[in-house]
Amino acid sequence: MTTVAAEKLVEVVESEVVIEFKPGTKCRSTLHLRSVHPTCVVAFKVQTSSPAKFHVNPPAGVLPPMASAALHVILRPQPHPPTSFPRSPSDRFLIKASVSDASVPTSHDVKLKVAYVGPFLLRHAAALGDTAAVRHLLRRQPHLLPLLPQEAPSASAPLPAAAAATPKGWTWAHASAASGELEELRRALDEDGQEGRDAEGRTPLMVAAGKGQAMCVRELVERWGADRDARSRDGRTALYRAASNGDTATVAVLLELGADPSIATARGRTPLDVARDKGHEDVVELLERGEMVLTASRKGDLRRLESLLKKRVGVRGRDQYGLTALHAAAIKGHHGAVALLAEFGMEVESQDVEGHTPLHLAVESGCLDTVETLLEAGADVNAKTKRGATPMAMARSMGYEAIAQLLASRGALLMPAASCIASSSSTS
């Protein structure tokens, strides 16, 4: 990055104040100011040519020798786009630095210009036919190229360099997910109606996870139903990409959303494998915690289970058969663990790969208390597996009359017994 220095007093890492502009919204930028004097305390003050538009926090302060400070620049909500962009000739900042020691220069200034960027301005420039502004914006943010309207060839035609910098096959949703533009992502999905994949088979969810855009990850899964376990051509899932980057926050979100940590790449490597290989210890702990929750549930270890659940990670983990911790506790008849898991919000209607809910497996366990605990937690008494088996049909086929009577008292439909006993391969 370009460094702007005030003659051995301070330096600013950023060469300009970059503002991602959105109309009617507070827009923020951060500057990193550092004292370069080894012995003197440096005082600084920030001034702007447009005080009605900008607020700076802190506007002034002191820096101990070689210390740093972050300056937060806030553009107050503006109803209209800037008259000139990316560079704005009318908006400037001046950082005045000074010391009281007469043996060193007493004051020097750092001048910074303002650059306005972002998806809104790119589309605005394209709509105006301002090819120069489009070109300059894309030089700064080439990943936004897919946001250009297709009906604006005059704006996009002279930009081969920008196109080459944009991953092949990216859609508007890919670009928005990569840049963390949540509103743009929503608009893209509203208009396109589907996610799409790029040339490498990556979905917007994979791109968001790989770029550490945890809010976009949550939006794609919770609101748009994105396949959290989809794989690109190399077999990598969104969780694998986040784990490979050591991105603890995104890994935690994906695990909370039920991403499967057991899915391996084409080379047989899981998210846990890559996190271990790269030394991402915090990610390794998160991924292992899901297995710990499953193990504690299978054993009915309430103390260990409660300790893990309080950390809020691993609640939605699954094994290779699609079994959650609630399934694991139910098949073993650990009604205390079932009650604890339900209390912490585990989904009582989750299904394994064969469509069994925890209630199906509780019936198979023959434990009346576990069945009753799940019914009290709101389990669907008439849930069906992929083969159409209900808990009542299972209870009758296995001869569990007390369980059948309990199910009937809770509204279970009377059905003929079926060959619906859960397979031992998925419940052992």
DSSP string for 289-320: HHHHHHHHHHHT-HHHHHHHHTTT-STT---T
Q: Which of 214-228, 307-321, 410-424 has the highest mean pLDDT?
A: 214-228
Convert 289-301 to b/e letters by CB count within 10 Å (16 or more is b): bbbbbbebbbebb
pLDDT at res. 171 = 79
Neighbours of 152 (CB within 10 A): 17
396 belongs to a structural domain: yes
Confidence of residue 395 (pLDDT cuts 50, 70, 90): very high
Phi, psi at 160, each rounded to 5°: -65, -35
Kindly state the tokens that stand for 284.
């390794």
pLDDT at res. 193 = 58
Q: Tabulate helix, strand, coil % of the chain (nearest 5).
A: 40, 15, 45
270 belongs to a structural domain: no
Range of the domain at 343: 286-427
279 belongs to a structural domain: no
Least confident of 29-38, 233-242, 244-253, 260-269: 260-269
Residues 362 and 423 in one domain: yes
As a whole number of angstroms, the distance between CA 272 and CA 287 comes to 6
Tally of domains within the chain:
3
CATH code of the domain containing 49: 2.60.40.10
Neighbours of 245 (CB within 10 A): 19
pLDDT at res. 127 = 77
122 belongs to a structural domain: no
Residues 423 and 291 in one domain: yes
Confidence of residue 201 (pLDDT cuts 50, 70, 90): very high
Residues 247 and 296 in one domain: no
pLDDT at res. 230 = 95
Final residue of a domain: which of 89, 117, 145?
117
Q: Is the pLDDT at 72 greater than 60, yes or no?
A: yes
155 or 414: which leads in pLDDT: 414
Residues 302 and 411 in one domain: yes
402 belongs to a structural domain: yes
Helical spans, DSSP H, in 211-247? 214-222, 238-244
| Pair 297, 316: CB distance under 8 Å | no
Residues 56 and 174 in one domain: no
Residues 290 and 259 in one domain: no
Q: Is the pLDDT at 82 greater than 60, yes or no?
A: yes
416 or 390: which leads in pLDDT: 390
Over residues 238-260, the mean pLDDT reads 92
34 belongs to a structural domain: yes
Nearest CA among 197, 153, 161 for reference residue 177: 197
Convert 191-208 to b/e letters by CB count within 10 Å (16 or more is b): eeeebbbbeeebbbbbbb
Q: Is the pLDDT at 12 greater than 70, yes or no?
A: yes
Distance of CA 127 to the CA centre of its chain: 31
Neighbours of 223 (CB within 10 A): 11
Cβ contacts of 194-200, under 8 Å, gap ≥ 24: 195/171, 195/220, 195/224, 195/226, 196/169, 196/171, 197/169, 197/232, 198/167, 198/168, 198/169, 198/170, 198/171, 198/174, 199/167, 199/168, 199/169, 200/167, 200/168, 200/169, 200/232, 200/233, 200/234
Cα-based distances in Å from 219 to 199, 253, 279: 23, 11, 29
Least confident of 79-88, 114-123, 285-294: 285-294
Phi, psi at 122, each rounded to 5°: -60, -45
Over residues 370-393, the mean pLDDT reads 95
Entry field: residues in the chain: 428
Confidence of residue 360 (pLDDT cuts 50, 70, 90): very high
CATH code of the domain containing 356: 1.25.40.20
Q: Is the pLDDT at 154 greater than 60, yes or no?
A: no
Residues 385 and 319 in one domain: yes
Residues 258 and 291 in one domain: no
244 or 193: which leads in pLDDT: 244
pLDDT at res. 102 = 59
Final residue of a domain: which of 200, 231, 263?
263
Over residues 386-391, the mean pLDDT reads 94
Residues 249 and 303 in one domain: no
pLDDT at res. 192 = 66
275 belongs to a structural domain: no
Q: Is the pLDDT at 272 greater than 60, yes or no?
A: yes
Residues 194 and 248 in one domain: yes
Entry pTM? 0.54
Residues 207 and 106 in one domain: no
274 belongs to a structural domain: no
Residues 72 and 175 in one domain: no
